[in-house]
Chain A
């Protein structure tokens, strides 16, 4: 163990400072390590796994390894390393217990253990206080000693010398080499042949063979397929984020024969073709695109056209835009050829990715902060690398020097980012044109002139109207009430001169006011009839194209060397080795197009790996690489590296970067189909299901939960929302005279259309682990909190949905009785009918509620409460 490594450091600190019984932080890794090492597929070089021919012996060794991780290693760390580790101050008896070799070769007294021969092992004798007494301060418990005996008799398998562990240790130490040659994710993708497996029938797709092989090597049995209803519900939520209708459930489950799976294909294809698919999958991408509709940070200025980017993403998924093209458009859409104005607009909107980030409009170093955000979002969403770590210094863990950061920074420094007005409200066509990108044909100079004149006129008229209103109000106090009531009154002759005079003035003022109001109306109409350009957030190349200087420690006043615009040097041996893309960046271009080409180059090993891993995660609950946004040294290694490469290669070569095709392939695999049932034996070996012996049981994220509530209650408005509530609110800053009352109104569209104002995230999202929209986050947390419960128990939204749900059930003439109503409610919520006892219990509950609350013809509160309970319940909120 290196003393510069963090676990070692922590362990040492713990040994020195903490009482003996205290836990060692270093041991925290044990379950994970055990899992990884038990996964033969991951590190086939782990001792014994490859060389042992007989599976019996392999199983024995596996048990031994497992025992080592569970029982032996922790004891060694806690009780022995203080004196018997390479970083101990004075190594006792020259015996090292922190390596396999040390244990086997022993110290001054000879070998500490003889594998398979506990009786002949010195270590065991010392533990038993037989001749030697170790550890010296207190004898270990009999149970622990028995563990050691068993481990030695199993052959004392010890993974600590395996290269795998070295890599693990290095990673944990956060000091992995920055040698690109060793970082697995930067290696070229190799087209891997799926392994031959004993039970070829198990594999419905080629990817299944990797999974089966891994399970078999670990001695783990895969689960049987999920029952049809469970599978259907899973497929619906995964592909569309909505539950299946009772009709869909009935159609799918009517035939109990195993052939029902054949029908999955039809269902999957239908769902992939639905509008709902894009609405579900766009949101996944919006998490990594840190989508938001306001500046967030210091001054939360609304970005009222951000929604166009949202719609772009939804459409990209629904039209199955190839992923390489999808990336290219978002990085450099404005620089691509377009055949029509419409297409040009679509491409321009795509660049919204670079403009919708959070930004500190007040304080900081706006230009470079925006660039940092752009580098961050591109590098993490597409490459899974944390390039922005290199803003102030060379990346500590990954092979990314600061120079690389600034070669990318030059590209964005040569890019003009249009994200709206900032602190100044852009309230006329001229300023809007300056702070947004304009969509559609540029308005002519005359039209712009006309608009500007009309705007001026409008402002003038508004002023006059206000003045007139004031004058009328003043005069109204001086004239008889009869005249105020009817300003057009013929003035009575008996009024004296003074009265008549003021009455005339009043009437003139009224006429003026009317006229001005009319003119105002006309001007407004004229303005509205002018063809109005559409605006969006996005980027285009700046007028001034320039390379960036390295800023020492990221400080803008500390300019260092100027670096040529370009890409990541660590990938140069694999992607674009001649540097021809970089060479193409000339003095007139930002280099974004070249960057996009480099990102989506067929040889770029990260882009496709990262993309397929994200898809896998959304369908399986966890990625092949768990740290989906981090494929660098500090990320976790893949559980199935060969499968990852197989999928990545297939994605680019067979599927032509089609995300739908890849999703389809995974959903139709046997791996996807398995039940989520618990299996004790498998769990003991692989508690985190890294080997995929079952489907992960997953919690519905915020959006599908909310959408499911809307859907089953019958409130959901399926039509896409045109625009956004943020646009309805208009330009301005949260908390500064901004009328946000529209946010309080019921909103029954799908959650992807909810307004994402960074400072006012809708409660139904925020409480359920919606990611911070200022940060790239490809993986959702999954917490259970009392505040979620309170939301489901009491929030007006859920109660309203429950009332609607209940009304639906009660007013459905096809439902003959309460049992039928209960059946439909269960079908909607759980995609299965209730059992007889469930029906009975539910009926009992309804009666009980009726007794407590009473009921009337119009108030069927007990049904509302029932519906609410179904929607709040765990089986509704989980996907099996």
Chain B
């Protein structure tokens, strides 16, 4: 049976509403599995917010997700999928006329105990090879940046659909109500822009919160409305106390049986007041040690300063109970000057990513934090460039990796053909990736539905298989 969005939300947000519901159901269980808005979730009596933590469908192996989004499409054959055949046949004609096979531009080594091949492009991350679960059979439906980005984030590039982060919030809520549950740091303004962290038809409360944008160094990024332009903090406390009084008077006039909506307003101001101190605290890196800053490659003038800060922010956020953080680095789109371009991107991201993994691990967070790395697609084994220094878009076979959060470390799943044109083994479509991420987070992608426009929608639409091989 189902109820409308309104009914569901009122039952999920109202103190009295849920109490009454509990009474009707004659049960006292606090949280219950969320199935869909039709089944509705009725969190326990103390819960006021649709963002309150919800019990997953099954035992989760990860509670938090960090997505390291490498916009533009990093090259697999330069990083995590070694292609000796490609090197051997360098300069031979590719699949199409006028295109030549391009050898890998970096040296390869077996790394760690697992002996995973990682090239020297990512020599810092390579140190953590035993944590990486490399998915080399990735494929997606389209090779243009924008639709591919939208598909990566929402599962669809033709229709406006909720982003993965919004689905996660809808399904799981978030642990710390004083912080946004889904944060996108430095998101691009183009390529779908805010659609990549939007909630579409899911209630707006599940949309992501952007911090800055890709054009703004994250150290200058501001979250709006956290500072009052005219009041000191004690004055604002006094202000809010009086506001509370106004609201409480109104609640009293309505009566305790019926005032849950107003109680929610009262709570929301208290939460807001706490958020405006807690969010800047989380974003303030000044308390971090020099050792930590160095670990992330943070420092004036360093190429890794900005992404290092993003990574450190991500750690601070998941540590503080943010459900999902996405970071972004661009622009990995080297149709030409691949060596120079990828070198620069690696200089910006490699050390920060290694730092993040190391830091999560030593703080005991990596076990329950899923880290996902990758772009909207990969790159071709061949090029039309005479100097062989370039690769084009390849949605048919590319690499992403996961770490932590219950995946097999030091493991490579899937492969492209011997040259790297298309995924042939262990193929993982983006829908499968989404299903797997949800699964690791404790959600069944087939059960996590939302009724809109007369039918139940899912992140994976009618597709998606959990890639069980990669689960530890």
Which residue of the partner chain A has the closest CB to B453?
A386
List the A side residues contacting B198 at CB < 8 Å: 772
When the two chains form their complex, are residues B276 and A794 in contact, meaning their CB atoms are under 8 A apart? yes
List the B side residues contacting A789 at CB < 8 Å: 268-269, 271-273
When the two chains form their complex, are residues A864 and B232 in contact, meaning their CB atoms are under 8 A apart? no
List the A side residues contacting B243 at CB < 8 Å: 869, 872-873
Contact of A687 among B20, B49, B191, B451 (CB under 8 A): B20
List the A side residues contacting B32 at CB < 8 Å: 22-23
8 Å CB interface, B225-277 against A: 225-232, 234-236, 238-240, 242-243, 245-247, 249-251, 254-255, 257-258, 261-262, 264-269, 271-276
Taking A363-B144, A734-B189, A794-B229 as contacts, is the C-beta distance between A779 and B27 under 8 angstroms? no
Contact of A634 among B33, B146, B266, B455 (CB under 8 A): B455
List the A side residues contacting B200 at CB < 8 Å: 772, 774-775
8 Å CB interface, B1-41 against A: 1-7, 9-11, 13, 17, 20-21, 23-27, 29, 32-33, 35, 38-40
Taking A680-B257, A759-B193, A763-B224 as contacts, is the C-beta distance between A783 and B204 under 8 angstroms? yes
Closest Cβ of chain B: how far from A358's Cβ, in Å? 6
List the A side residues contacting B35 at CB < 8 Å: 10, 25
Closest Cβ of chain B: how far from A116's Cβ, in Å? 23
List the B side residues contacting A364 at CB < 8 Å: 147, 157-158
Closest Cβ of chain B: how far from A181's Cβ, in Å? 20
Interface centre among B4, B21, B178 (most CB of A within 10 A): B4
Closest Cβ of chain A: how far from B34's Cβ, in Å? 9
A314 to B257, CA, bound (A): 40
Which residue of the partner chain B has the closest CB to A800?
B229
Taking A74-B27, A734-B189 as contacts, is the C-beta distance between A784 and B261 under 8 angstroms? yes
8 Å CB interface, A597-638 against B: 622, 626-627, 629-630, 632, 634-636
Closest Cβ of chain B: how far from A548's Cβ, in Å? 18
When the two chains form their complex, are residues B453 and A775 in contact, meaning their CB atoms are under 8 A apart? yes
Q: Does B190 contact A (CB under 8 A)?
A: yes
A-B interface pairs (CB < 8 A), number: 308
Contact of B235 among A358, A770, A852 (CB under 8 A): A852
Closest Cβ of chain A: how far from B417's Cβ, in Å? 25
Closest Cβ of chain A: how far from B211's Cβ, in Å? 13
Q: Does A841 contact B (CB under 8 A)?
A: yes
Contact of B262 among A358, A791, A878 (CB under 8 A): A878
Contact of B239 among A172, A781, A790, A865 (CB under 8 A): A865
When the two chains form their complex, are residues B246 and A70 in contact, meaning their CB atoms are under 8 A apart? no
A794 to B257, CA, bound (A): 31
Q: Does B337 contact A (CB under 8 A)?
A: no
Q: Does B205 contact A (CB under 8 A)?
A: yes
Closest Cβ of chain A: how far from B454's Cβ, in Å? 4
B side interface size, CB within 8 A: 107
When the two chains form their complex, are residues B26 and A75 in contact, meaning their CB atoms are under 8 A apart? yes
Which residue of the partner chain A has the closest CB to B180?
A787
- Taken residue by residue from 212 to 232, chain B's Cβ proximity to chain A (1 for < 8 Å, 0 otherwise) reads as 000000000000111111111
Q: Does B351 contact A (CB under 8 A)?
A: no
List the A side residues contacting B227 at CB < 8 Å: 794
Which residue of the partner chain B has the closest CB to A797?
B225
Taking A769-B203, A793-B236 as contacts, is the C-beta distance between A874 and B194 under 8 angstroms? no
Show 13 A/B contacts (Cβ-Cβ < 8 Å), sorted by A. Answer: A28-B3, A70-B26, A298-B147, A299-B190, A364-B157, A385-B454, A388-B453, A774-B159, A794-B228, A794-B229, A853-B232, A853-B235, A873-B246
What 12 additional pairs, Cβ within 8 angstroms, besides A29-B1, A790-B275, A793-B236?
Answer: A32-B3, A32-B7, A389-B455, A680-B257, A774-B159, A789-B273, A790-B226, A799-B228, A841-B245, A865-B235, A874-B266, A875-B249
Which B residues fall within an 8 A CB radius of A? 1-7, 9-11, 13, 17, 20-21, 23-27, 29, 32-33, 35, 38-40, 42, 49-51, 142, 144, 146-148, 150, 157-160, 177-178, 180, 188-195, 198-201, 203-205, 207, 209, 224-232, 234-236, 238-240, 242-243, 245-247, 249-251, 254-255, 257-258, 261-262, 264-269, 271-276, 451-456
Which A residues fall within an 8 A CB radius of B? 7, 10, 18, 21-23, 25-34, 69-71, 74-75, 144, 168, 172, 174, 296-300, 358, 360, 362-365, 369, 376, 380, 385-386, 388-389, 396-398, 622, 626-627, 629-630, 632, 634-636, 678, 680, 683, 687-688, 697, 699, 733-736, 758-761, 763, 766-767, 769-770, 772, 774-777, 779, 781-791, 793-796, 799, 838, 841, 845, 848-849, 852-853, 861, 864-866, 868-870, 872-875, 877-878
